């Protein structure tokens, strides 16, 4: 029979992991019935799989506004106050 270990929660509902797992920075978990199974993870995928998400259609006026904003190549103004920024734009 497999060894059964029960993890008990503290007064705040947190679980203290066994000593072998305490230095692991990241876990993946699976919920099966009433069980939570923890797997130590060594690497994280840089980009999550989002292929199952529905495609969102954006409003044409919003797309046009974003295109106009993103094509603006003017340099930014560094100023301590709005009044100072207005003075710099007049120069």
pLDDT digits (tens, 9 = 90+) for 7-24: 778 788 887 777 777 777
Instruction: Kindly report the backbone phi and psi dihedral angles of residue 35, in degrees, each rounded to the nearest multiple of 5, phi listed first.
Output: -105, 150
Rounded average pLDDT over 42-49: 69
From 39, 46, 8, select the one nearest 24 (Cα to Cα): 39
State the pLDDT at residue 1.
45
Q: Considering the chain, what is the average pLDDT of its residues?
A: 80
Q: What percent of the chain has pLDDT over 70?
A: 88
Answer whether residue 31 shows pLDDT above 90. Answer: no
Say if residue 31 is exposed, middle or buried (CB neighbours under 10 Å; 0-12, 13-18, 19+). exposed
Domain limits of the chain?
Answer: 60-90
């Amino acid at each position: 029979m497999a060894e059964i270990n029960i993890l008990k929660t503290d007064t705040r509902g947190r679980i203290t992991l066994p000593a072998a797992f305490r230095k692991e920075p990241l876990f993946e978990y699976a919920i099966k019935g009433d069980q939570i199974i923890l797997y130590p993870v060594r690497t994280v995928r840089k980009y999550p799989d989002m292929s199952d998400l529905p495609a969102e259609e954006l409003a044409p006026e919003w797309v046009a506004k974003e295109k106009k904003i993103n094509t603006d190549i003017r340099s930014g103004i560094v100023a301590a106050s709005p009044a100072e920024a207005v003075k710099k734009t007049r120069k």
